[in-house]
Amino acid sequence: MFEKIKAAILDGDVEETAALVKKALADGLEPLEVLNKGCIPGIEKAGALFEAEEFFLPELITAGEATKAAMELLLPELRKKEDAWQSAGKFVIGTVEGDMHDIGKSIVASMLSAAGFEVFDLGIDVSAERFIEEIKTKEPDFLGLSALLTSTMPKQQEVIDALKEAGLRDKVKVFVGGAPVSSEWAEKIGADGYAEDAVAAVKLAKKSKE
């Protein structure tokens, strides 16, 4: 089943991907397992083929669309595990300005939500000004900044600088993530932490609340 889902994503076959994911859920497979063993390997393979110039942009786009179709079915299942009675804290998250990648950020948002955090997902291409506005109104404990392009990583720094300018830097813990991001980069730009994946993001946020 996982191999079939991976193949359907690589084919950019939205309908087949959705049908397979529905079947996997109906057969009782764990949504997180479907995500980690079927969908993520599929989209990562598409990225590797793109890098090797065996895939071109249209194929990358259709693979992304197939992955999104899978996630639309899987994320509500992940969120069902949320325990509404214990908010673990407020978490604002978004992909930085100029960056349209939303798959990884949405997985992180869903896992945080499933772990009991009150999550405000601002979406993609979020400017520093918008982040600041949302921090002012939502007063979150945490801010998550996702960047998938080396060219948009500096926007994470911009948001941190804008927080300092607005006098908000010590009001919120800032975590960064995304494929090109590292703990060294997080340290360099003055973030409070780096999470390599959604599970690490949940652990980091929970640990910071202790």
Q: Which residues bind ligand B1M (CB under 6 A)?
A: 40, 43-44, 46-47, 50-51, 57, 60-61, 64, 68, 93, 98-105, 107-108, 144, 146, 148-151, 175-180, 195, 197-198, 201
Q: How far is the CB of 89 from ligand B1M (least distance, A)?
A: 13
If one counts every other C-beta atom within 10 angstroms of the C-beta of residue 108, the result is: 26
With respect to ligand B1M, which residue has the nearer C-beta, 28 or 104? 104
Rounded to the nearest whole angstrom, what is the least distance from the CB of residue 180 to ligand B1M in the complex?
6
State in angstroms the smallest separation of the CB of 175 from ligand B1M.
4
Closest to ligand B1M by CB, 132 vs 149, is 149
Contact 144, 93 (CB under 8 A): yes
Of 150, 145, 203, which Cα lies nearest the Cα of 174?
A: 145
Residue 24: both structure tokens together: 């996997």
CB 146 within 8 A of CB 177: yes
Q: Tell me the residue number closest to ligand B1M, measured at CB.
A: 104
Nearer to ligand B1M, 28 or 77 (CB): 77
Q: Is the Cα torsion angle 135, 199, 105, 112 positive or negative in sign?
A: negative
- The distance of closest approach from Cβ of residue 24 to ligand B1M in the complex, given in angstroms and rounded to an integer, is 17
- The single-letter DSSP state of residue 180 is T
Write the DSSP string, 82-129: --TT---EEEEEEEBTT----HHHHHHHHHHHHTTEEEEE--SSB-HH
- Comparing CB distances to ligand B1M, the nearer of 24 and 126 is 126
- What's the min distance (Å) between Cβ of 18 and ligand B1M? 15
Stretch (H or E) spanning 161: helix 153-165
Q: How far is the CB of 174 from ligand B1M (least distance, A)?
A: 9
Task: Name the residue nearer to ligand B1M (CB basis): 25 or 149.
Answer: 149
> What distance in Å separates the CA atoms of residue 173 and residue 167, rounded to the nearest whole number?
13
| Residue with smaller CB distance to ligand B1M, 28 or 112 | 112
